[in-house]
Structure 1
Amino acid sequence: MIYTPRPYQKLISAHELELPRAGVWAGMGMGKTASTLSSLDTLSLTENRPALVLAPLRVARSTWPDEVAKWSNLSHMEVRPIIGSADERKAAVRDRNAGVFTTNYENLPWLVDHLGDRWPFGTVVSDESTRMKSFRLGGSGGRRARSIAKIAHTKISRWINLTGTPSPNGLQDLWGQTWFLDAGERLGRTYTAFEQRWFRKGYNGFGLELLPSAQEQIEDRLRDLHITLDPKDWFDLKEPNVVPVPVELPVKARAQYRAMEREMFMSIGEHEIEAFNAASRTIKCLQIANGAAYVGGTDSEIASDVAPWVEVHDAKLRALESVIEELNGAPLLVAYHFKSDLARLQKAFGYGRVLDNDPQTIRDWNAGKIRLLFAHPESCGHGLNLQDGGHNIAIFGHWWALEAYLQILERLGPVRQLQSGYDRVVNIFNIYAVDTVDELVIARRAGKRSVQELIMEAMKRREI
């Protein structure tokens, strides 16, 4: 198949070729990968240094190499992932035939340290550049961004930021990403200067809020670096069909939930679960809303595969079962959050598959071989194409991060459906526990209100 760019893809490529350091804010599914590969192909005619693409692991491993294989007029490009064990990464770096290398953000510190003064890449593409948002001068911020910041403006001549969600948590997200384009010229030499110029403390003493006219000023300063493309301006999109699936907690579970809100601890059988602060409490409340809660007292255990948890109710599982029955065999992507969610989903629906690191799983889903696919938003977003496998998604476990939520929706969202030739509406089944933190999370994603503000409001309503 020949890559024939759409009009907006031509704009993306032209922008990337015109500016040595450019940002592309284009809605998910608008073909940023193919457009950028076309740009890199053109640059290779005059550039004698290879390009490096930074991306989430699955995207570095599969999406960029697969995109080259997809288009016959780009198939001459060799894309080499720098992933795997240390020996495998070293072997990949020694490949002299590849013009484009990819690696995941987690490998950045190793790569910079391993190459040292022998850094070969003239162009860097930061795919999903929000991964660089935490960068700060002076040694703070994310370790990955700090590692490459040392050479970003000395050994790297071209830089491209790609994202569909440049500021998912507010305009504060923009400084770190933009620094790699202009070294702080537009938004301030330091993040502190950026904050002091355009923000003030929130009225309740928590967080930051924009000063009047700050958004317009920030957007004006960034306009020459970025091209912004909204899918709604280019497609006749069918809006997703959001189907609320409210779940009433059983009486006993409701009492336990209320106890967590009121007293910051609860007991289930012989297990005592304690939340040490307000943040922990919201996590525990979300767990109970889903149907299980971790025990042991430390939130760090949540990340462990063997962290102990106890089941509180199965109301959401029953609701999901009803959704599956309603779909009558149509494939369904299910978003979960906690490992306890996944364990319970697998037990309740033994035929379901988990989106893992095996590329064959994605191929099976897109081939219609998987009826039920469980996926965590943090591992399912960023560049994965799942639209061929279906157009139905259920949100079983809710979380505050807007970007992760948008990313998993767009794996099979309206733009991808339309681009793949499907005339069908995307159905989003929002399974939520009534009168719980689930509702606060949904409200947070729907607007721009702070988590702290929503929680305080809820506490006042319940007179806790």
Structure 2
Amino acid sequence: MKFVPHSYQAYAINEVIEKPEIGLFLDMGLGKTITTLTAVTELLHNYFSVHKVLVIAPKRVAEDTWSRETEKWQHTRYLKISKVLGPIKTREAALKEKADLYIINRENVDWLVKHYGKDWPFDMVVIDELSSFKSSASKRFKQLRKVRPLIKRIVGLTGTPAPNSLIDLWPQLYLLDRGERLGPTITGYRNQYFNPGRRDPSKYIVYNWVPKDGAEDAIHEQIGDICISMKAKDHLQLPERIDNVISVQLDPKEREIYKRLERDKLLEFDEQDVLANSAAGLMGKLLQLANGEVYDDEGDTVHIHDKKLDALEEVIEESQGQPILLFYSFKHDRDRILKRFKQAEELNWEDSIARWNKGEIPLLVAHPASAGHGLNLQDGGHIIVWFGLTWSLELYQQANSRLDRQGQKNSVIVHHLLVAGSVDEQVLNVLQGKEQNQDALLEAVKARIREAGGKA
């Protein structure tokens, strides 16, 4: 297939070629992989400015997406790809192959840096899902930081640069510019742009950081010259997305059990106890209970209600046979869904994707962490149901984008099953709040394509 870039893709390709360090904050569906591949091809074989390219990606993306995208297009089909995956001996053999791109999953970055040490051979690195390096304490960040001076060109790709807060930006930007814009240390970045929020004075622990007045604009201005933001709504004609909240009501007995756990952090049954040892643990238990079952201290489940299963059954009936992509939170959610709905199948990488896109699976059940990257499911349906929500904005957005993406022909309906008056509602509010904050960041650094002759 011949690749004819859209104006926004042509702009991004040129920026990657022109700038040795760049962050492409591209919304899902804008073709960040082929955009980057095209720029890499130019740099390798027309400009001769790089010689060995490493791509760091989530495991499933490393296994499939980059090689599949390379084979798809006429101008990249000749590229030789070596996948540095699997056992150590297999990885070592892959590194010895002569290739244009070497692709490794992010979990093996620590091993790769130790393997080469000071003899690091890659003069260009592409980080697919840059936000997975948002923790400055992670091994992958610390190891890549060691070899960053040896990297001539670096590209960071993500649609969610600040999935939780602007604090997440520092490690990602450091890998791009080695601290030039946001400072050389996370401590300095925090002190300059943030005030401590909720904290425990006795343990000197800060639980969250609040941007100082004007800090967001200042951060956006600092990074705007090397970060390009593009949102799908500005460049693609996508069908409307409809977000729907389905309120699930507990009966008085079930509501009392929920309130008792919320109040006492403890539930006592005949032979089972459910105990929450911390605030985070309590939130997890409440989310489990809202879904219908909760794990006890022994790891067994205590059944409380089937209200969400009943609500899901109504959604299925109202959908009149149209396929549904359902996201669950806990294993007991999955087990109960599969037991009650015999037509349901769990997502696996082997054949369920192809069968879903052919319309052969009426109810596809997936955990958002297993469907977050590199899955094109838009041909199989347009209805999403969240049986239980995730706290991760990144997982939430990526999961929804399996259907709400380029190629979708119908309005995407996203149903959220929320127990009224429960932590379910709080999670959705938090996700919406995070999305607003991130949208402010993306808007602030949005590429001025109009000024470059394209469509902004």
TM-score by length of 2: 0.90
**Aligned pairs (5 A) from 1:336-415:** 336-356=328-348, 358-413=349-404
Q: Could you tell me whether the CA contact under 8 Å between 2:393 and 2:434 is conserved in 1?
A: no
Q: What CA distance in whole angstroms lies between the structure 2 residues aligned with 1:47 and 1:368?
A: 46
What stretches of structure 1 of length at least 5 have no aligned partner?
A: 136-140, 298-306, 451-464
Residue in 1 aligned with 2:432? 446
Matched, 1:266 2:262: no
Map of 1:150 onto structure 2? 146
Secondary structure of 1:381's counterpart equals coil
The answer on whether the counterparts of 1:250 and 1:315 sit within 8 Å (CA) in structure 2 is no
Q: Does 1:277 align with 2:269?
A: no
- Aligned counterparts of 1:72 and 1:402: Cα–Cα separation in 2: 36
C-alpha distance 204-276 of structure 1, shift in aligned 2 (>3 A): closer
- Letter matched to residue 327 of structure 2: A
Q: Once the 2 structures are TM-superposed, how far is the Cα of residue 168 of structure 1 from its aligned partner?
A: 1.4
Task: Find the counterpart in structure 1 of residue 305 from structure 2.
Answer: 313
Give CA deviations for 1:430-463 in whole Å, capped at 9, x if unaligned.
111111100100111111499xxxxxxxxxxxxx
Amino acid at match of 2:252: V
2:96 and 2:25 mapped to 1: Cα distance?
A: 33
Tell me, yes or no, if the aligned pair for 2:3 and 2:73 is still in contact at 8 Å. yes
Are 1:39 and 2:34 matched, yes or no? no
Q: Does residue 18 of structure 1 match 2:18?
A: yes
Change (3 A) 1:79 1:253: farther
Q: Which residue of 1 aligns with 2:182?
A: 187
1:13-63 Cα distance to aligned partner (Å, 9 max, x none): 111111111110111110000100101111111045221111111111111
Cα gap change, 1:182/1:170 in structure 2, threshold over 3 Å: closer, same or farther?
A: same
CA contact (8 A) 1:335 1:375 kept: yes
Which whole-Å deviations, capped at 9, do the CAs of 1:181-240 have from their partners, x for residues lacking one? Answer: 111111111000000001112278752111111111111110111111122222344331
Amino acid across the alignment from 2:243? V
1:207-286 equivalent positions in 2, closer than 5 A: 207-286=208-287
Tell which has more relative contact order, 1 or 2 (C-alpha 8 A, sep 6+): 2
Query: How many aligned residue pairs are there?
Result: 428
- Separation of aligned partners in 1, 2:102 and 2:316: 41
What secondary structure, in the 3-state scheme, does the structure 2 residue paired with 1:447 have?
A: helix
What is the aligned-residue identity percentage? 39
In structure 2, how many angstroms separate the alpha carbons of the residues matched to 1:236 and 1:75? 28
Q: How far 1:121 moved relative to its partner?
A: 1.6
> Within 5 Å, which residues of 2 pair with 1:47-62?
47=49, 49-62=51-64
SS, match of residue 102 in structure 1: strand
Q: Distance in 2 between matches of 1:122 and 1:359?
A: 34
TM-score by length of 1: 0.88
- Provide the rounded CA distance (Å) in 2 between the counterparts of 1:225 and 1:105: 23
Please give the root-mean-square deviation of Cα atoms over the aligned residues, in Å.
Answer: 1.8
Query: Which whole-Å CA distance do the structure 1 matches of 2:115 and 2:64 have between them?
Result: 24
Change (3 A) 1:66 1:346: same
- Corresponding position of 1:93: 95
Partner of 1:8: 8
* Residue ranges of structure 2 left out of the alignment (5+ in a row): 201-206, 437-456
Moved over 4 A (4+): 203-206
Q: Which moved more, 1:216-225 or 1:380-389?
A: 380-389
Amino acid at match of 2:188: A
Q: Is the 1:53–1:124 Cα contact (8 Å) retained in structure 2?
A: yes
SS at match of 1:273: strand
Contact 2:50-2:124 at 8 Å conserved across structures: no
